[in-house]
Structures are given as structure tokens and as C-alpha cells.
Amino acid sequence: MKTIISGNEAIALSFEDSGGVFASGYPGTPSTETLEEVARLGKVYCEWAPNEKVGLESAIGASLAGGRSLATMKHVGVNVAADALMTLTYTGVNAGLILMAADDPGMHSSQNEQDSRNYAKFAKIPMLDPADSQEAYDFVRTGFEISEQFDTPVMLRTTTRISHAKGIVEPTGKIQPKVGEWVKNVPKYVMLPNFGKIKHVEVEARLLKLQEFAETSPLNRLEMGDTDLGIVTSGISYQHVKEAFPTASILKLGLVHPLPEKKIREFAGKVKRLMVVEEMDAIFEEQIRAMGIGVHIGKDKISFCGEVNADIIRAAAGAPITTGTAAPVENLPQRPPTFCPGCAHRGLYSILSKLKVFVSGDIGCYTLGALPPLSAMHTCICMGASISAAHGMAKVNEIAGRTEKPVAVIGDSTFFHSGITGLLSMAYNGGNALVIIMDNRTTGMTGGQENPGSGQVLQGEPAQQVNMVDLVKVLGIHNVVEINSYNLEETEAAIRKGLETPGPYVLVDKNPCILRYRVKKPLYKVAQDKCTGCRACLKASCVALGLTASGEKPKVGIDPNICNGCGVCAQLCKFDAMSEV
């Protein structure tokens, strides 16, 4: 039966239909819904790993034990899993293994634009690049077949507009999962140098075989039309090409590594102008040029940055673009994402903002504390970097004779992901920093996924809940204090104490995520006779608050449909104008 589902849902459905046995991964936009959907469908075992490396390693183990396995992650997650990947390419697999990497060109919800196609080249493994939900479904099945036929991990690469776009999918029938033998094979699976040397030769030979496969595989499709313009493309770019030039000749690549050299040469020979359309890096173009084939239109006309669309392609080829009714209206108030009304991060950041400390931030909802009016985050690099970076800062401050202590802010899921090792280093090497762990018991930014602190696993069963304070202590931190960031006065005192006490100091806020756990509290209202319009409350950046009228000094009101009753605004008010409804 036909259904309309996203690329992520299609991958999950196909994983189940293609005899999948084990899936793991770490949440990350735009990959997250894949594992959530495997769990929702409910037939195949799946779990959240604390990070992508653990997710991939677990999938490797599952493959070695004979089960078809899937590891899912966003593009930057592949960096974390890369250590495993770069040797997995040598060992190969037992049962089929697919690594799904979801790229985010245009950075809708990411810290960088990273083209995962580089990893396929780097690891010398095949990569599939679906162009819609149906292909996302089909390519999982094909991916397992390639993985097992060529004894290799397969990367399945999506982009945001594949993962999150919905299209019609017709499933192609179910394969019953079967678990193969659990084999001991030391030269294949133990990468000591002597075995690794043999395997590297095999990897190079495998790549040549895959290249032959790419030449004849229907994954790479010639669509001959007008021969004036011939376009080599893949993935979502293919759809934009079809919009821009419906009658052009197209070489649509489904297997994007290794490339089918003969097929590309044949295609280039049939068209007058060869164009390469690819988002982000010039992966195809560089290789095609290295084959000695001329590319007439490519990255000279299409940016390395951001997403591609039909007009960008038209413009690159010198064709007219869409003309609309109007230019975008300029200077409108922006509507950036912000902390939810009632979120525990708001109170913390209003204090950090007031204290003007240097905040070493991390990846999560709390990264939004960098935006005005809070503006209380001064660096954010990658998952887990808050603590390690604060440690480095503390050491240089010590060397420079500065007394100011940096503050690291990190969430529970990010701490489990890769903050633990940073804190271990800080404890071991004696870094003079304050670390605040916002332990809201969920992976918030990606929509509230379970983690080792949630007390529940992905498939819903109860699980052992990590005790954050005990975990911090066991790493060697002696000063660990629990705080309640809804109480501004107490929290400020705790932060001040942490800043004054020499050595590593950790504060743990255990307030749950209000969005995930739907915490209900009494709402607040503003006594208009007491409000002076001083706007001190507005510094907390809550969308439930607003000015009630225009004019010289408008007063503040609270929208009862939006307020979640955290009471932070009431504590910021110097005139006692806010109270519970």
C-alpha cells in the first residue's frame, strides 16, 4: 500500500522490511526520526547509544554476531564515529551494515555544513544517496545487499530535504530477519598491523570491484533528453535539476562512491555542455575533472555554501529564474528559536548574563543562551567541548595570573555523549573551572529522546537511571552541589560560591525538560498598577511576556496561553508586580 512518509521514516520502514536485526545511533537533526520510527514500528530491536561512536561500534558487533544492522547519526556525528569507521572498512562485515549519515546543507539545525560524501571517499566504501522517500526505502534494501556482496560497510547519506521531506512510498515486500553465524576469524576482525596490511590491499581491490559494479548498476541512471545540456547530479539536487531543466539529459547517480568513470565519460561524450550539480563540496566535479573530462558548469557557478535550488541551477546555466510578486520584506522583527516558556535554562542564563562570566557552551537547547538579550555564551564548538575548553582556558588563566574562573554549561545528554571525559581530565589535571550540568533528563534539542539519565530506553521499557551527582563524584570531583535554577537567589549564591572556591566545581540542576515532561505549574499575572514598565523581566527572553501598549513606558503583560508558570519573571521584577494567577 502507498503511504506518504519522510525519508527518515522510509529508511526505518525499509530497515524493518529488509531483515534488519539491530539499530543504534545518537539523536541529531536531521537524522533523529529514523530510530524513533524503528521504535514506533516496533518489530526490530533498536536503542539510543550515548554517542555515535558507541552506536556504530554496537552496530559492528551486531553485524559480527550475524544480524543486519543500522547506525544512524547526523553529519557531525560521523566525526565522532569516524575512528570506528576507518578500521571497519578494513574488517568488513559479517551481516550487512549500513551507516546512515544525515547532512544538513543550509545549516537548518547544525553548527557546520559538512559533506559526508567525503567520508565515503576517505573510508573507501560505497555510498548511496537517495533522491526521495521511495529511494530512501529502496536503497536500504540495496545497501544491505551491497554490504554483504562486497564485504563492506555501506554509507547511506541523506540531506535535510530527503530526511524531512515526505513523499509517496510503495513498500516492496518483507524479508524475514534471520541471524547468521557468529564467526571467529582473527585475521579478518583483529586489526593488528600484520592483518591490517593484508586487509588494506583487499580494501583497494574491493574499491575497484565496486567501481565495476557502479558502471552497470541501475543505481546510476542515464536519462537522455536534450543533448545541449547534460547534468551529472544525485540526491535532492536531482529533484531541483528536474524542476529547473525538465528536458535536459541527466546522469543521476544513486551510488555516489565510487563513481562510474566509463558511464560518466559516455554521458559527457553525448552532450554539448556538461554541468555538475551537487550541494556543498565539489566531490563529483573534482573526480570528473581528474578523469580528464571537461566540466563546463560546476562549482564556479554553484556555491559550496548552503542548499541548491531550481533557480540557482537555472542561473548557473544562464537560464531565466522565477520572478515573484515582491522582494522579501526587509527589517521585520526576527523570530529566532528561544527557550520554551517555563524552561529551566532561562533562570540560569539570566544569572550568568548578570554575572558577566565567560561561558564555555555546548550543543543543545542551552546554546540559545548565546542569543540576545541573554547573550551569555562565548564559545560553542562541538558536543562535549564546553568542559574541555573551559579546562584549557582555566590553565591559561592560571599561567597568565588571571583569577577569573570560566563557566562551562552542558546538558545531561551532551555530558553523557562526550562531556564525561572532559570532566575526568579537569579532575585529574586540576582545572580551575565551574561546570554547570543542566540535567533535564532528556535529549531536548532534538525533541526529547531518552538518554542514560531518563530512566527509560528508546523502546519504552524502564531502565537504570544514572545518578548525575554520583557520576561526577566518581570522576574525582569533590565539590558537587545540586541547584534549582527556578530559584534565582539560591542559584546565584551557588554560582558565586563555585566561582570563589578554587579548583573544579560542579553544579547540577535536576529540573526536568518542560516540553518533554509537560510539567504544569500555576501561571503568573502582572498587577498593572505595580508594573513600572522598567523591562527588567524582559531580559529573561520569555515569549509569554509582552508590552501591553505602545507609548512612552508601556507596561508588561503575560499571555496565559503561553506562560508555563516558572516564576523567573516574578523574581526579576523589582516592584513585586507579578504573582501567581
Partner 1 sequence: MKVFNIVIAGVGGQGVLMASKVLAESALASGMDVKQNEVHGMAQRGGSVISFVRIGDQVHSPVVMPGSADILISFEPLEALRYVHYLKPGAMLVYNKGTINPSTVASGLATYPSDVEEQISGICGDAHGIEALSLAQEAGNAKAVNMVMVGSVLKNLPIDAQVVEGVVKALSKDKGVEVNLKALRGGAAAA
Q: Which residues here bind partner 1, judged by CB under 8 A? A: 2-4, 29-30, 108-109, 132, 160-161, 164-168, 236, 239-240, 242-243, 309-311, 322-329, 332-340, 365, 368, 372-373, 445-447, 515, 535, 538-547, 550, 559, 561-562
Rounded Cα distance between 167 and 157, Å, is 17
Residue with Cβ nearer partner 1 (168 or 183): 168
User: Distance between CA 53 and CA 460 in Å, rounded?
Assistant: 23
Q: Closest distance between partner 1 and the C-beta of residue 237, in Å?
A: 10
Q: Looking at beta carbons only, is 466 or 558 nearer to partner 1?
A: 558
CB of 349 to partner 1, least distance (A): 12
Q: For partner 1, give the closer residue by CB, 127 or 236.
A: 236
**CA atoms of 207 and 92, how far apart (whole Å):** 12
Alpha-carbon distance of 581 to 578, in angstroms, equals: 9
* CB 80 to partner 1: min, Å: 19
Using CB atoms within 10 Å of the CB of residue 538, give its burial: 0 to 12 exposed, 13 to 18 middle, 19+ buried. middle
d(CA 453, CA 280): 37
DSSP reduced 3-state for 434: strand
How far is it, in rounded angstroms, from Cα 56 to Cα 52?
6
Nearer to partner 1, 117 or 240 (CB): 240
Q: Sign of dihedral through CA atoms 453, 455, 459, 460?
A: negative
Closest separation in Å from C-beta 104 to partner 1: 9
User: Which residues have CB under 8 Å from 7's CB, separation 6+?
Assistant: 130, 132, 133, 136, 158, 162, 163, 164, 165, 167
In the complex with partner 1, which residue's Cβ is closer, 346 or 391?
346
Residue 476 or 560: which CB sits closer to partner 1? 560
By C-beta, is 176 or 325 nearer to partner 1?
325
Place of cell 543562551: 369
Please name the amino acid found at residue 125.
I
Give the HSE-up count for residue 24: Cα atoms under 13 Å, Cβ half-sphere.
21
d(CA 78, CA 100): 9
As measured in angstroms, the least distance from the Cβ of 464 to partner 1 is 29
Using the minimum distance from each CB to partner 1, give the nearer residue, 109 or 484: 109
**Of the two residues 191 and 310, which places its CB atom closer to partner 1 in the complex?**
310
Looking at beta carbons only, is 1 or 399 nearer to partner 1? 1
Cα separation, 5 vs 268, whole angstroms:
35
Tallying the residues shown for the chain, one arrives at 581
- Kindly give the interhelix angle for 420-429 and 385-400, rounded to the nearest 10 degrees: 20
Q: Where are the alpha helices (DSSP H) in 432-476?
A: 468-474
Q: How far is the CB of 169 from partner 1 (least distance, A)?
A: 10
Q: What is the DSSP letter of 314?
A: H
Q: Please, which residue, 9 or 412, has the CB nearer to partner 1? A: 9
Q: How far is the CB of 387 from partner 1 (least distance, A)?
A: 24
CA 128 from centre of chain: 19
Which of residues 139 and 213 has its CB atom nearest to partner 1 in the complex? 139
CB of 322 to partner 1, least distance (A): 4
- C-beta of residue 319 within 8 angstroms of C-beta of residue 231: no
CB of 285 to partner 1, least distance (A): 21
Q: How would you classify residue 561: left for phi > 0, otherwise alpha for psi between -120 and 50, otherwise beta?
A: alpha
Cβ-based nearer residue to partner 1, 139 or 505: 139
CB atoms within 10 A of CB 401: 6
Burial of residue 460 (number of CB atoms within 10 Å: 0-12, 13-18, 19+) = exposed
Tell the smallest beta-carbon distance from residue 29 to partner 1 (Å).
Answer: 4
Distance (Å, whole) CA 211 – CA 205: 10
**Nearest-angstrom CA–CA distance, 363 and 385:** 9
Q: What is the closest distance, in whole angstroms, from the C-beta atom of residue 270 to partner 1 in the complex?
A: 23
CA 400 to chain centre: 37
* Closer of 183 and 321 to partner 1 (Cβ): 321
- Contact between 382 and 76 (Cβ < 8 Å): yes
Q: Compute the distance between CA of residue 138 and CA of residue 167 in angstroms, rounded to an integer.
A: 13
Nearest distance from C-beta of residue 131 to partner 1, angstroms? 9
Dihedrals φ, ψ of 326, to 5°?
-155, 160
**C-beta of 459: minimal distance to partner 1 in Å?**
22
Strands 524-526 and 578-580: antiparallel
- Smallest gap from residue 331 Cβ to partner 1 (A): 9
